[in-house]
Amino acid sequence: MAEKEIDGSSLVAMCLARGGVKHMFGVVGIPVTSIATRAVSLGIRFIAFHNEQSAGYAASAYGYLTGNPGLLLTVSGPGCVHGLAGLSNAATNCWPFVLLSGSSDQGYTGRGDFQELDQIQATAPFSKLSIKATGIDKLPGLVFDALDFAVNGRPGGCYLDVPTDVLHQTVEVSVAEKLISDVEAQMKLRKQDDLVVESSGIQKAAELLRRAERPLVVFGKGAAYSRAEDELRKLVETTGIPFLPTPMGKGILPDTHDLAATAARSLAIGRCDVALVVGARLNWLLHFGEPPKWSSDVKFILVDVSEEEIELRKPSVGLVGDAKKIVFMLNKEIKDTPFCFARNHPWVEAIATKAKDNVLKMEAQLAKDVVPFNFMTPMRIIRDAISNLGSPAPVLVSEGANTMDIGRAVLVQMEPRTRLDAGTWGTMGVGLGYCIAAAIASPERLVVAVEGDSGFGFSAMEVETLVRYQLPVVVIVFNNGGVYGGDRRTPEEISGPYKDDPAPTSFVPGAAYHLVMEAFGGKGYLVGTPDELRYALAESFSAKKPAVINVTIDPYAGSESGRMQHKN
Ligand code: ADP
């Protein structure tokens, strides 16, 4: 009797399962539907989206939260193009990700086949590795390569192209098994990039911190990704050095820690003389490490898994390697010759005093109940409702201009990897995808999104996905009727033949976003007063079911471009 054969789709699914993939995100269609159905039959959970863009954002955040590559499945041509959003977002944020896309039949290349595109070329600018399986026998090696490259070294996106004809080719089961086990054996031999950190670098870094007058520890989402929280806590608490998290570094140590310099950010970065920066780039988010925000003679100690990153920034000391391991080594070095900045050391005290003053000023603003809502009043109510939840803290997804900026200052992060926002690229429209990823990656946590109506609108249809999978996600929409809110044009700007059109920044006023959720059977709330908001939060947080809370905000509260007006 002839041996049973399997096709390329089944082989891809088998390789993914054997490669440890537990979840996939994507949109099915020609030629990849069978990959998804076979993967499900092998125990991989496939989260089916409406749009590859959101699915891609979900896969990218999943990579960050779990440390395993987020897998995005797309159809050929336009599906792959939509998937570029997720691939590029993962690349820019340094998150592990694999885009697996069907592509047109190799037999018709260049002749206008169905959804034909040179996908290797299209994906190359955004991926660490762009590879095409030209025959069924190549699939196991390439699937394992893509999964491995995504996590190895600096995490990032990889692309694997699976042409239609390859997915339809067949191979005997025993041959498929042998192909996979051969690759598994090779993978075992492949050395992970385990960078050896020179102990002289560690000594130099410890010495710089010890001799500093105004040291600061800065950490970012690379440190969160590396799960360096215990080591960073030990470092901060044994040395007494104040710390400053980047937006997604928030929560590595609790925002409420007495050494947190978040509320004294300008003072901390403007006056520090030695900054230990762990898993965060000195890019626009950290003002390039240059004056006027930083002092011109600050000495940087950079810890990053990427040698390229260290070379680019030219710090006083560069330590290439995994953040968790390096901070562990630093702690060991410091233990041998300990030092500690007392809480009444002038620098530590100056930061604590400034932080306290700024918090008091903000609390005074937050204390007022302003109706119609500005951004502060509902943000305070949300903050209080979240802190009542205790541990495990919810994953907080945040996007929008004012909504994200004000949310970053007001909402409190107590646990690592519980904040997802627009990130390195300032990408808007990530919210729903990130919510879905967070619910899948951190099933023990509630997910709360606090986002502007503009951010929500990018992918509002994915609320159906929330309902379909019954995910514990509460989406709070700050509805001020547009991008930045109401029409802020000057009288001179309102001219020309289309002057009666709505402003480019406006949406339909009073849009009933809560009904979008109700259309699919989820729970919707429309709120405009503190009591209504408190009720909606209490009910939806305890129900742990998909909900949209549509919060009516004064369209003229906040400012255009939030805190980024200088770039507009
Ligand atoms: P943030 O937005 O929080 O400032 P960035 O995304 O700019 O953070 O920087 C994260 C940095 O962390 C990247 O340069 C990346 O190479 C680095 N990184 C990623 N994984 C690790 C790791 N395991 N150990 C150390 N650094 C890492």
Model confidence at 156, pLDDT cuts 50, 70, 90, reads very high
For residue 517, is pLDDT > 90?
Answer: yes
Average pLDDT, the chain: 95
Contacts of 194 (CB under 8 A, 6+ apart): none
Atom of ligand 1 nearest to the CA of 309: 14
Q: Is the CB of 220 under 6 A from ligand 1?
A: yes
- Distance (angstroms) between ligand 1 centre and the Cα of 496 equals 47
CB 392 within 8 A of CB 400: no
Mean pLDDT, to the nearest integer, of 61-72? 98
Predicted local distance difference test score (pLDDT) of residue 401:
84
Angle at 170 between CA 169 and CA 174, to 5 degrees: 150
Taking the C-alpha atoms of residue 143 and residue 435, their distance in angstroms, rounded to an integer, is 27
- Relative to the CA of 249, which ligand 1 atom is closest? 3
Confidence of residue 1 (pLDDT cuts 50, 70, 90): low
Q: Is the CB of 305 under 6 A from ligand 1?
A: yes
C-beta of residue 100 within 8 angstroms of C-beta of residue 160: yes
Ligand 1 probe mutation, 60, 89, 154, 244, most atoms within 8 A of CB: 154
Ligand 1 atom 6 nearest Cα: 93
Q: Which residues, 6+ apart, have CB-to-CB distance to 410 below 8 Å? A: 362, 366, 376, 379, 380, 383
Q: Per residue, what are the HEC states of 369-403?
A: CCCCECCHHHHHHHHHHHHHHCCCCCEEEEECCHH
Residue 70's φ and ψ, nearest 5 degrees, are: -80, 130
- Residue 280 C-alpha to ligand 1 middle, in angstroms? 5
C-beta 348 within 6 A of ligand 1: no
Neighbours of 388 (CB within 10 A): 10
Q: Find all residues with CB under 8 Å of 501, minimum gap 6, and list them.
A: none
pLDDT reading at 563 higher than 80? no
pLDDT (0 to 100) of residue 483? 82
Residue found by looking up tokens 């987020």 in the block: 70
- Sign of the alpha-carbon torsion through 222, 225, 231, 232: positive
- Beta-carbon count within 10 A of 380 CB: 20
| pLDDT tens digits along 114-123 | 999 999 999 9
Distances, alpha carbon 444 to alpha carbons 140, 438, 471, 490, in Å: 33, 10, 11, 49
At 466-494, the pLDDT tens digits run 999 999 999 999 999 988 777 888 889 99
Nearest CA to ligand 1 atom 19: 222
Find out whether the beta carbon of 23 lies less than 6 Å from any atom of ligand 1.
Answer: no
User: Is the shortest distance between the CB of 96 and ligand 1 below 6 Å?
Assistant: no
Cα(248) to centroid(ligand 1), Å: 11
Say if ligand 1 is within 6 A of residue 541 CB.
no
Ligand 1 contacts CB of residue 64 (under 6 A) = no
Contact of 260 with 253, CB cutoff 8 Å: yes
pLDDT band at 189 (very low <50, low <70, confident <90, very high): confident
- Atom of ligand 1 lying closest to residue 221 CA: 3
In this predicted model, what pLDDT tens digit does every residue of 284-300 receive, in sequence order? 999 999 999 999 999 99
- Is cis: bond before 96, omega within 30 of 0? no
- Summarised one tens digit per residue, pLDDT across range 333-356 is 999 999 999 999 999 999 999 999
